[in-house]
Amino acid sequence: MASVSPSPSCSTIPTPVRRSSRTSFAVAELRRLKQRRAIPPVSVGLGHFADAVRNDVDFLKNKIGIGLRWANEAFRVPEVTKSAEELFWLRHLEDHASSNLESQSWPQPSYSGLSGVDLFMADVKALEAYAAYFYCLSKMWSRPLPEVYDSQAVADYFNCRPHVVAYRLLEVFSAFMVAAIRLRTSASDKSKSLEASEQNFGMVLKETMLHLGPTFIKVGQSLSTRPDIIGTEISKALSELHDRIPPFPWPEAVKIIEEELGGPVESFFSQFSQETVAAASFGQVYRGRTLDGSDVAVKVQRPDLRHAVLRDIYILRLGLGILRKVAKRENDIRVYADELGMGLAGELDFTLEAANALEFQEAHSRFSYIRVPKVYQHLTRKRVLTMEWMVGESPTDLLAISSGYSDHDNESHEKQNIEARRRLLDLVNKGVEATLVQLLDTGILHADPHPGNLRYTTSRQIGFLDFGLVCRMQRKHQLAMLASIVHIVNGDWAFLVESLTDMDVITPGVNTRRFTLDLEYALGEVKLINGIPDIEFTKVLSKIVKVALKYQLRMPPYFTLVLRSLACLEGLAAAGDPNFKTFEAAYPFVVQKLITENSAATRKILHSAVLNRKKEFRWERVALFLSKSSTRKQSPLVTLSRDETSVDSSSNPTDKDADNVSLVLRLLASKNGVVLRRLLMAANGTSLIRTFISREAHVIRKKLCMTIANTMYQWMVGSLGIESLKFISLSDPQLSSGINITVKDFKILISDKRVRVILRKILESAKSDRVLMLRFCWTSFVMSLTTTALACHRFVISVSEGYVNYLSLSAPVALRT
């Protein structure tokens, strides 16, 4: 096959290959190198050596130049240099379209009427002010922490030490991160039960709080009292924070004691144990004996405690400040940190705790079931507190014994469990009683009654320890708290809002109508059992706090301490008795307070509870008042009884209502019936008569007839001298309870002028309604006939039975002769 060579005219023109500038530059440099290497070698000489050195230098220069040019192109050095130059000269601020401005000279100050000397002295004073300012800043570093909590002084102290705050934040964050990792790894084990998981969570949380120090231990102690919120297993683990905290070494304790008391331990104590009896969050307790032979408990504060506590309070205050800005709240929520700081700072001064204990003891000395240890003032200082040694069992020990199990000697162990449970329930009941007394009577409230601070003594008293945190309530706050309990039970939300206003929870300017609606929505779903709310008191207060925070209201300081104290109490009561109801236990005390305390404030609360706006009785509430008051042993209604039979021994509601009639009749003429007599005087007499003759009052009228008939029967027996006849044995009255009205009581009731004034006022108020008075007279007449018939019937039956017994052969021979 012949090949045809292309002619020049039709030859294929090669397409040029596009190369980048970097590639073409590199190819050119390689060609230049090859040309230099192609130079033929010459004879060695001195001139040729200089040429070789020159060529090498040129080669290095070329190579360095190549590197620099490559770097300029790769990192865009010229563009960066140009941008830096424009920034340095501020060329980006130049505006070529701007108009020309007239040049301004430096302003010359003018001080009319001042000479050069005056200006010089002013400059000297300014320098003095600046020097004083910088001197004050330098002195800030040497200022110690305040003894009494002051938020500004604490902030100034830690603002000079930001490294301390940063280290603490890192420590807290790392501790909780480690705890989260431990919980996460343990949660991967699916074979663990829910109870085991809660127990593990509680142990991890307890160890974390132990690691973080006293402030977090205090938080853990508060949480441990609420098993209903955090769970039983977690509460059980955190309860070890009460008295099982690792102690600090004995030499440090001795050093603190000797520094505070001003001498060696042997000069103040004849015996002193080196072993810690109990270790708490702020200190630890040793047992000792004074020189006069008294057993004492010596509480020693942990070293460097003030700095650690106030540092955590400062961090909490910072966090609340940030939260306030993020949430855009108007009120300053940092005050909660300040309140906590004031409380904890007060606990750091043991002399204040000693003063609190003395005040608490003096206020509750008339209550025999409350025990407060004696304070030894001469052995007490700011970091050392010496008190009487109290022998008793803690609630934690009683709970462990009552719920324990043993395979050996089951019968004796069961008896031990029953006895421990009896003591625990008695402690709970006395704790409820003591808390109500503190809250509503004395106004001095132990604000930290966790199980570690309570003891059940051998004399069946409840002993209180650790008075570092005590709440003092004003009289108006006590009355408002008393009224709030009554209004919550009755569901009077408008009156409850008034009480919250008196408690300084609701401030002026709040829309009370909307607040009442929100409060009714939050508390309206509470169930009632026998007229009493089936809910814990702390949950009610928490709902109130939630509604108040919605309106950006600030809780008063005492309210937080009351909530904490009641939370500790309810946690202890729930552990001892799962069926414990706070309102059911507290309401009898409230009723007794209202019935016995004759003051304008308590009368106002009572009238708002049992009377409507027309001054008519709300009989369902009156019945609730009487039934709850009669269940309380210290109630004046119960103490009127001649025997010790329980008033509520009868399970029949009819008998209970009938017993209340006897109680009211006896109370009317007694010295404790002032409030009841005033209430009857204030009530609408017409409504009283209308209610008395109604069908619903049939049980009350029947019991009244039986009571009067029994009294008439006793009068007939005494008047006719039947009791003097030995051959007649009269039967005892068949009553439903042990509260009876004797002839003497009835005579006192009839002859009492105050009772006659009340009856006259009631009858006069109903005179205008003739039909009502006619019905009342007819009902009274029927009741008189019924009462007389019952008394005569009973008298005849009793005499007949006695005479028959005399004639029977079973009668003793001595009686016949």
Give the residue numbers marked as catalytic. Answer: 448
**CB atoms closer than 10 angstroms to residue 474:** 13
Angle at 503 between CA 501 and CA 506, to 5 degrees: 35
148-151 long-range contacts, CB within 8 A, separation 24+ = 148/345, 149/310, 149/313, 149/338, 149/341, 149/342, 149/344, 149/345, 149/346, 151/317, 151/334, 151/337, 151/338, 151/341
Q: Spell out the residues 6+ positions from residue 605 whose beta carbon is closer than 8 angstroms to its own.
A: 479, 482, 483, 486, 594
CA–CA gap between residue 183 and residue 207 (Å, rounded): 12
> Which residues lie closer than 8 Å to 58 by C-beta, 6 or more apart?
none
* Three-state secondary structure string covering 281-338: CCEEEEEEEECCCCEEEEEEECCCHHHHHHHHHHHHHHHHHHHHHHHCCCCCCCHHHH
Helices 151-159/305-327 angle, 10° precision: 100
616 Ramachandran zone, left/alpha/beta (phi>0; psi -120 to 50): beta
Q: Which two three-digit tokens encode residue 607?
A: 């009238």
Continuous segment of H or E residues that includes residue 454: strand 454-457
User: What DSSP assignment string belongs to 525-563?
Assistant: T--EETTEE-S-HHHHHHHHHHHHHHTTPPPPHHHHHHH
Q: Is 489:532 a contact under the CB 8 Å cutoff?
A: yes
Residue type present at position 753 = K
**What's the CA gap between 233 and 201, in Å, rounded?**
9
Q: CA-CA distance, 595 to 611, in Å (whole number)?
A: 14
Amino acid identity of residue 257, one-letter, is I
CA 229 from centroid of its chain's CA atoms: 13
d(CA 264, CA 285): 18
CB 471 within 8 A of CB 435: no
Both structure tokens of 811: 């009668």
E strands of 295-449, at which residues? Answer: 295-301, 370-371, 384-388, 392-393, 444-446
Beta-carbon contacts of residue 267 (< 8 Å; ≥ 6 apart): none
Residue 314: Cβ within 10 Å count:
22
Q: What angle do CA 516, 604, 588 make, to 5 degrees?
A: 85
Residue pair 239/571 in contact by the 8 Å Cβ criterion: no
Phi, psi of 409 (to 5 degrees): 55, 60
Identity of residue 771: V
Phi/psi at 450 (nearest 5 deg)?
A: -75, 165
Beta carbons of 541 and 597 less than 8 angstroms apart: no
Q: Is 473 left (phi over 0), alpha (psi -120 to 50) or beta?
A: beta
The answer to whether the CB of 427 falls within 8 A of the CB of 462 is yes
Backbone phi, psi, residue 462, to 5°: -100, 120
Return the H-helix or E-strand segment holding 804: helix 770-807
According to DSSP, the residues that pair with 455 across neighbouring strands are 463
- Our CA angle for 640, 641, 645, nearest 5°, is 145
Task: Determine contact, residues 443/364, Cβ cutoff 8 Å.
Answer: no
